[in-house]
Amino acid sequence: MRTNYRINSGVRFEMLSRDQLEEMYNGVLHVLDHIGLDVHHDEARDILKNAGARVDGIRVRIPRHLMKKALSTAPRSFTIYSRDNNPKHDIHIGPGRAHFGPGPTPPNFIDIETLERRPFVKDDARIVATVCDALENIDFCESLGTISDVHPDLAASYEFATMFPCTSKPIVAWSYAWDDSADIHKIAVAEAGGQEAFEKRPNYVHYCEPLSPLVSTFEAVDKVIFAARHGVPVIFTTCALAGGTAPVTPAGIIIQTTAESFMGLMLAQTIRPGLPFFMGGVLSVMDMSAMILTYGAPELSLMMAGATELAHYCGIPLWQTGGCTDSKCLDEQASLEGSISVFFSALTGGDLCHDVGYTESGMTGSILQTVMMNDAIGFSRRITRGIEVNEDTLAVDVIHDVGPDGHYLYQQHTMRHFKTEFWYPKLCDRHNFEEWEAEGKKPMRDRVVERTREIVNTHKPAPVKPETEKVIKQVMAAAEDRVKNK
């Protein structure tokens, strides 16, 4: 029996105090109540107005009490399910749980055979999904590209139809509009066994991106309405540039992007109270020399950490960002920027950390970067798991048994713990020099490429149901028919 004994089993990271967070939260409510956002969607404005928002033209302002009510119905903890009932692939959203995955829609991709940058094609979606399915530290899947070799309106539908059979990890789907959102949903629902079954065990998340500063675009809002009406967990995330489309200060950009995200939350919770919702923001700096949205900046990690703390303060999960880089290839810069941001993201416990595999400031997807970051995530997770302290781990008895001048290799205690206490890298090399030399003196990047190709050639993801395969064919045939004259 113990009294007032405190346990910290993991590494603690905390930046902002509750007082500071309350001040920021107050700033968000002020923006929504007094400045408001432009909402480019007639029906959405009607829904918001009926809920009590003040609508003036396209400007929508949300009174504080209304925003607080919407926040109260959005869950902090829930599960996104694997499509094949594989509990290892379920994602449990909740305190202290950071999950990782790639990001959506860069135009280019690094070809895993030629290692050259080229437009993203349909088969790349298969490669990315297959590799994500196999990587032990990647929890959800996105494609890392916009498919360029199909009808442009069907890029998102083909992406989902291609990835879904290649991974049973939950997919974060994006789409252009209502029609392709429906394509995606039909496929997911077929596998789940109907709409009702899907609502009990949602197997994908929908991604919507409004605009900074303070604009809810028609497409982003339309997709939130679709997701809410169909019970699809939803992400509403702007991609803001500090100093360009948002205030230059971290506190300022966090307040603005949170307000932007809350407009989506307000709409989603009004249509379907209780719908799982992820607060967004890709927050980074506009590099004032290169004029790019920087994906390898320390400020990105810092701002995302602040946003994570604010989201958690408000009782909702966050769409985090990390594992990305401004580098153009798999090099030291890619490793440095990716690894540090992944570690920082893991520390914050931000709930779904995306863009693992973004390179060239979001212009090029690289599954090679994702594979390298898989090791960085494993590394980070071992650290954030922390140190367990109890009678067994203190090992006083074992120290007694071994005594001076002994060794621990024969100890049951060692046998019981060494596989879980130690993390083993897949790609970081720990051989001695001669062994490394005998293996061909390979640098990390060569091992990354080899592992990626090996996974693509050998990994067999759990298949979808035969009826789902049929539905995929039907859905895509109908989609082609829909756009044939466009």
Partner 1 sequence: MSQILEQIATGIIKGDLQGVPQLVQKALDEGLDAQQIVQNGLIVGMGEVGKRFKVGEMFIPEVLLSAKTMHSGQELLRPLLAESGAAHYGKILMGTVKGDLHDIGKNLVGMMCEGAGFDVIDLGFDLEPEVFIEGIKTHQPDIVGMSALLTTTMRAMGHTIKAMEEAGLRDKVKVMVGGAPVDADFADRIGADGYGHNAVSGADTAKKLLGTG
Interacting residues toward partner 1 by CB under 8 A = 40, 105, 107, 146, 152, 176, 211, 215, 217, 241, 243-245, 286, 288-293, 363
How far is the C-alpha of 39 from the C-alpha of 218, rounded, in Å? 7
Q: Which is nearer to partner 1, 40 or 126 (CB)?
A: 40
How would you class 94 by CB atoms within 10 Å of its CB: exposed for 0-12, middle for 13-18, buried for 19 or more? middle
Query: In the bound complex, what is the minimum distance in angstroms from residue 6's beta carbon to partner 1?
Result: 48
Query: In the bound complex, what is the minimum distance in angstroms from residue 41's beta carbon to partner 1?
Result: 12
Q: Which is nearer to partner 1, 191 or 209 (CB)?
A: 209
Q: Which is nearer to partner 1, 215 or 271 (CB)?
A: 215
How would you class 484 by CB atoms within 10 Å of its CB: exposed for 0-12, middle for 13-18, buried for 19 or more? exposed
The token pair at 276 is 């799982």
Is 118 in a helix, a strand, or coil? strand
State how far the alpha carbon of 416 is from the alpha carbons of 408, 422, 463, 481, in Å. 12, 11, 35, 60
Q: Which is nearer to partner 1, 260 or 309 (CB)?
A: 260
Query: In the bound complex, what is the minimum distance in angstroms from residue 110's beta carbon to partner 1?
Result: 16
The token pair at 81 is 């399910």
The token pair at 423 is 């993390």
Query: In the bound complex, what is the minimum distance in angstroms from residue 329's beta carbon to partner 1?
Result: 17
Query: In the bound complex, what is the minimum distance in angstroms from residue 341's beta carbon to partner 1?
Result: 21
**Neighbouring C-beta atoms of residue 262, cutoff 10 Å:** 26
Q: Which residue has the tokens 């094609």?
A: 121
Query: In the bound complex, what is the minimum distance in angstroms from residue 66's beta carbon to partner 1?
Result: 26
Query: In the bound complex, what is the minimum distance in angstroms from residue 231's beta carbon to partner 1?
Result: 26
The token pair at 238 is 């702007």
Angle between helices 218-230 and 42-51 in degrees, nearest 10: 60
Can you say how many angstroms the Cα of residue 42 is from the centroid of all Cα atoms in its chain? 30
Q: Which residue has the tokens 């067999």?
A: 460
State how far the alpha carbon of 334 is from the alpha carbons of 71, 82, 338, in Å. 37, 30, 6
- DSSP secondary structure code for residue 59 in this structure: E
Backbone angles phi, psi at 205, to 5 degrees: -125, 145
Query: In the bound complex, what is the minimum distance in angstroms from residue 221's beta carbon to partner 1?
Result: 12
The token pair at 148 is 């360029």
How far is the C-alpha of 259 from the C-alpha of 250, rounded, in Å? 14
Query: In the bound complex, what is the minimum distance in angstroms from residue 211's beta carbon to partner 1?
Result: 6
Q: Which is nearer to partner 1, 363 or 478 (CB)?
A: 363
Q: Which is nearer to partner 1, 154 or 449 (CB)?
A: 154
Query: Backbone dihedral region of 194: left (phi > 0), alpha (psi from -120 to 50 degrees) or beta?
Result: left
Q: Which is nearer to partner 1, 220 or 371 (CB)?
A: 220
Amino acid at 306: G
Q: Which is nearer to partner 1, 100 or 295 (CB)?
A: 295
How far is the C-alpha of 256 from the C-alpha of 254, rounded, in Å? 6
How far is the C-alpha of 184 from the C-alpha of 156, rounded, in Å? 8
Query: In the bound complex, what is the minimum distance in angstroms from residue 297's beta carbon to partner 1?
Result: 15
Is 210 in a helix, a strand, or coil? coil
Q: Which is nearer to partner 1, 111 or 401 (CB)?
A: 111
How far is the C-alpha of 251 from the C-alpha of 302, rounded, in Å? 10
Of 175, 67, 136, 212, residue with least CA distance to 475: 175
How far is the C-alpha of 88 from the C-alpha of 180, rounded, in Å? 29
Q: Which is nearer to partner 1, 24 or 241 (CB)?
A: 241
CB of 447 closer than 8 Å to CB of 429:
yes
Q: Which is nearer to partner 1, 105 or 270 (CB)?
A: 105
Query: In the bound complex, what is the minimum distance in angstroms from residue 475's beta carbon to partner 1?
Result: 20
Q: Which is nearer to partner 1, 215 or 427 (CB)?
A: 215
CB of 279 closer than 8 Å to CB of 233:
no
Query: In the bound complex, what is the minimum distance in angstroms from residue 290's beta carbon to partner 1?
Result: 8
